[in-house]
Amino acid sequence: MKKVLQPTGDMMIAFTEDELEQLNIKEGDRFDFKIQDDGSVKLDKYVDIELDMADWPREILEMLVKRSCEQDVSVNEILIEILEEAIK
């Protein structure tokens, strides 16, 4: 599917209702995007996962918070970073 970026001052991609349904996109969905070598943009939809952190050792939780503060990002972003690295 090809879309044209619309000049709005912000970067925005507008989808029709039919496109949203076809792509299974719902309000509030989050995406990662990458600019491809050919100038196109690839959107990857985030998938929700549930993590039960109740039994995690305190050292792991402290490491997550520390890295989050050091990088000035959310713990969620740190978890994503760790999972992506583990998958590689």
The predicted model scores a pTM of: 0.54
Q: Half-sphere exposure of residue 70, counting CA atoms within 13 Å on the CB side?
A: 7
CATH hierarchy code of domain 1-48 = 2.10.260.10
Nearest to 23 by CA among 48, 51, 3, 52: 3
How does pLDDT run across 43-67, given as a tens digit for each residue? 898 888 888 999 999 999 999 999 9
pLDDT given at position 7? 72
Q: Structural domain boundaries of the chain? A: 1-48, 53-87
pLDDT digits over 2-44, tens only? 777 777 666 677 889 999 999 999 988 988 888 899 988 888 9
Q: Does residue 12 contact residue 32 with C-beta atoms inside 8 Å?
A: no
Tell me the H-state helices in 1-88: 17-22, 58-71, 75-87
Beta bridge partners of 31: 45
